Structure 1
Amino acid sequence: MIRRDFVKKSLAVAGVAGINIPAQVAGDDNPLPAKNKFNLKYAPHFGMFENLAGKDLFDQLKVMSELGFTAIEDNGMMGRTPEIQTKIGETLAKYGMTMGVFVIDGGDNWKISLTTGKQEFKDTFLKTCRTAVEVAKRCNAKWMTVVPGFFERHIPIGIQTGNVIDALRQGSEILAPHGLTMVLEPLSDTPELFLRNSDQTYMICRAVNSPACKILFDMYHMQRNEGDVITNLDRTWSEIGYLQIGDNPGRKEPTSGEMNYKNIFKHIHEKGWQGILGMEHGNAKPGKEGEIALFNAYVETDSFLPKPAAATSGKTKGKK
Structure 2
Amino acid sequence: MVQPIIHSLRMAGHLGLRSPDGPLFAHSAPSRDAGAQLDYLAQQGFAGAFDIYLKVRADAERAAISAKLAEHGLEMGTFNNDLAHWDKPLWSRNDADAQALIRASIESSIATVAQMGSGAAVCVTGLDAAYEKPAQIAAMIANLRRIAPLAEDAGLTLMIEPVAPQWIPGLLIDSMADGAAIVRAVDSPAVRLLFDVGHCAMMGDDVVQSLDAHWDLIGGIQIADVPGRVEPRAGVIDWVPVLGRLIDRGFDGLVEVELLTKEDSAQGEANLLASLRAIDNELKERPI
Question: What TM-score results when the alignment is normalised by the length of structure 2?
Answer: 0.90
Q: Residue deviations 1:198-219, cap 9 Å, x none?
A: 1211111111111110000111
Q: Equivalent residue for 1:42?
A: 11
Q: Is contact 2:85-2:125 (8 Å) kept?
A: no
| Superposition misfits of 4+ residues, deviation over 3 angstroms | 304-309
Matches within 5 A, 1:240-251: 240-251=218-229
Instruction: Between 297-306 and 176-185, report the one with greater CA deviation.
Output: 297-306
Q: Distance in 2 between matches of 1:304 and 1:212?
A: 35
Decide whether aligned partners of structure 1 residues 289 and 264 sit closer, same or farther in structure 2, where only a CA change above 3 A counts.
same
Contact 1:48 1:282 in 2 (8 A): yes
Amino acid paired to 1:131: S
Letter in structure 1 aligned against 2:38? L
Matched with 2:19 is none
Cα 1:307/1:223, change in 2 over 3 Å? closer
1:216 aligns with 2:180: no
1:160 equivalent in alignment to 2:133: no
Indicate the residue corresponding to 1:288 in structure 2: 266
Partners of 1:106 and 1:245 in 2: CA distance = 21
Please give the alpha-carbon distance, in whole angstroms, between the structure 1 residues aligned to 2:34 and 2:11: 18
Q: Distance in 2 between matches of 1:105 and 1:116?
A: 15
Equivalent-residue separation in structure 2 for 1:308 and 1:236 (angstroms) = 24
Comparing both chains, which one has the higher relative contact order based on Cα–Cα distances under 8 Å and sequence gaps of 6 or more? 2
Query: What is the aligned residue count?
Result: 275
Shift of 1:106: 4.9
Shift of 1:195: 0.2
Cα deviation per residue 1:191-247 (whole Å; 9 max; x = unaligned)? 422101112111111111111100001111111113211111111110100010110
Alpha carbons of structure 1 residues 304 and 118: separation in structure 2 relative to 1, 3 Å: farther
Return the TM-score normalized by structure 1: 0.81
* Distance 1:56-1:192 versus aligned 2 partners, 3 A rule: closer
Say which is worse superposed, 174-183 or 187-196, in terms of deviation.
187-196
Deviates more, 1:112-121 or 1:294-303: 112-121
Gap runs ≥5 in structure 1: 1-33, 310-320
Sequence identity percentage: 25
The equivalent of 2:99 in structure 1 is: 122
Partner of residue 159 from structure 2, selected from 183, 203, 208: 183
Unmatched runs of 5 consecutive residues or more in structure 2: 16-22
For 2:137, give the aligned amino acid: T
Give the AA of the match of 1:164.
M
TM-align CA RMSD: 1.7
